[in-house]
Amino acid sequence: MEQGRASGAAAPSQPHPAVRVPVPEQARGERTHEQARGEHTHSEPSAPAAPRLVQRHSVRGQVLDALRTALVGGELVPGEVYSAPALGMRFGVSATPVREAMQQLALEGAVEVVPNRGFRVIARSPRELAELAEVRALIEVPVMLRLARTVPAARWTELRPLAEATATAAARGDLAHYAESDRAFHRAVLLLAGNEQLVALADDLHRRSQWPLTGRPPTRRADLIADAAEHGALLDALIARDLPVVQSLVREHFTSAG
């Protein structure tokens, strides 16, 4: 279900011209020279990913998405400090939308402000991950059990494409897209409860649980594939209204997180 087994400031007053923001390369567990970190920042990577055009009004949002992708993929390394100007140079934008996006990540608990230097990616502990798993289980297990009793089988069948999307990303070993599709699947399940506050809270906890741990080895493709398979198994149990299996699948996943 989850990757590796185990989610702002106001917009600038002056609009930015159309810019090109390259989507960060997927992390492979090593630190590349183009990463801007600490007091030794670097400019554009020598072989950047293909850029995509970003409209003026969406610059900040696109930068935030790119930073979240880099965070989940491990390109933003726990404990390292990143400057807004250097990251702006990397993304081909000014420092302002990067700074605003980083402020949003600070509100979410992913980074902390380092005065006169930039933003440090917060180093997370296994205990924090276990606590997140416990809270998620307290929220999601009873909701899924209630939904299993009331939601028609046809509604669960409609979620098959979302489960398949996680399997596709897992088969590619695409960690960032797996994380995104994993959250999309869980959101779709919880939306059936009709409680938007619940969905927002669960999604925030889910996103936090996907941030990498300090010193943790890169997630293996085999682990992603096994996790993705649990989505299909969960849908099967929900369709069958097999409550013990639903509870076992969800709770076992959360308690084994990390």
pLDDT of 224-247, one tens digit each? 898 899 999 999 999 999 999 999
Beta-sheet strand order (sheet of 118-121): 81-82, 118-121, 111-114
E strand intervals along the chain: 19-22, 51-54, 81-82, 111-114, 118-121
Q: What is the pTM of this model?
A: 0.71
Give the sign of the dihedral formed by CA 227, CA 232, CA 238, CA 241: negative
Number of other CB atoms surrounding residue 152 within 10 Å = 8
Each as own residue / partner, the long-range contacts of residues 237-246 (CB below 8 Å, 24 or more positions apart, any chain) are 237/148, 238/144, 238/147, 238/148, 238/151, 238/156, 239/153, 239/156, 239/157, 241/148, 241/149, 242/148, 243/145, 243/148, 243/149, 246/144, 246/145, 246/148
- Ranges of each domain in the chain: 19-121, 126-255
Q: Which is more confident, 238 or 45? A: 238
pLDDT digits (tens, 9 = 90+) for 116-175: 899 999 888 888 888 998 999 999 999 999 999 999 999 999 999 999 999 999 999 888
CATH topology of domain 126-255: Four Helix Bundle (Hemerythrin (Met), subunit A) (1.20.120)
Domain covering 19-121, topology: Arc Repressor Mutant, subunit A (1.10.10)
